[in-house]
Amino acid sequence: MTANLRCVIVAVDGSEQSMNALRWALDNLKLRAPAADSTETPGTFIILHVQSPPSIAAGLNPGAIPFGGPSDLEVPAFTAAIEAHQKRITEAILEHALEICRQKTANVKTQVVIGDPKEKICEAVENLHADLLVMGSRAFGPIKRMFLGSVSNYCTNHAECPVIIVKGKDASS
């Protein structure tokens, strides 16, 4: 594909589908490579991982504590433990992604943001002025998609750049 891409964001979430999307991007997309005497910057693949906020990761919506205790109480140690766990997961995901990149020659950067994946991916596209967004498709069934929503579907409709969805070899699984 085109050699004029300046910024390509590849969203990874640790799933095999997202890693396949990264492999596809590295194998099929040609980034801008300026001439030696040019001041243009070379194109970059940005591996983007969106981490859930600790309260979402824990599945918590802290309600009132029974027996008259304070409500809206956050337990700092619990929150810190969740954050440390998420940080380890994020590091493992990015390490896996960078291992895939080491097998290729590409200008790659990583970025981690915290929040709702749908919104944060679209924000990153806007903030980084991405030329293209590449992501895998989890291939949820219609029921799961109805309740969870599809990040790839949302980004296809809301990202301010073209979006490529890389489906697995067997999209029915």
User: What are 124-163's pLDDT values in tens digits?
Assistant: 999 999 999 999 987 666 666 565 568 888 999 999 999 9
Are the C-beta atoms of 62 and 71 separated by less than 8 Å? yes
Q: Examine the pLDDT at 7 and tell me if it is beyond 80.
A: yes
CA angle (9, 103, 109) in 5-degree steps = 30
Q: What is the pLDDT of residue 34?
A: 73
In this prediction, residues 78-105 reach a mean pLDDT of 90
The model's confidence at residue 165, banded by pLDDT at 50, 70 and 90, is very high
pLDDT in tens, 37-72: 777 788 999 999 999 877 655 555 555 555 555 545
What pLDDT sits at residue 158? Answer: 94
What are φ and ψ of residue 170, in 5° steps?
A: -115, 95
Q: What is the dihedral of CA 149, 150, 153, 154, to 10 degrees?
A: 60
Task: Report whether pLDDT(25) > 80.
Answer: yes
Round to whole Å and give the CA distance between 16 and 14: 7
DSSP state string for the chain? --S-B-EEEEE--SSHHHHHHHHHHHHH--B----TT--PPPPEEEEEEEEPPHHHHTT----PPTTT--SS---HHHHHHHHHHHHHHHHHHHHHHHHHHHTS---EEEEEEES-HHHHHHHHHHHTT-SEEEEE-----HHHHHHH--HHHHHHHH-SS-EEEE--S-TT-
Domain 7-33+42-53+84-166 classification at class level: alpha beta
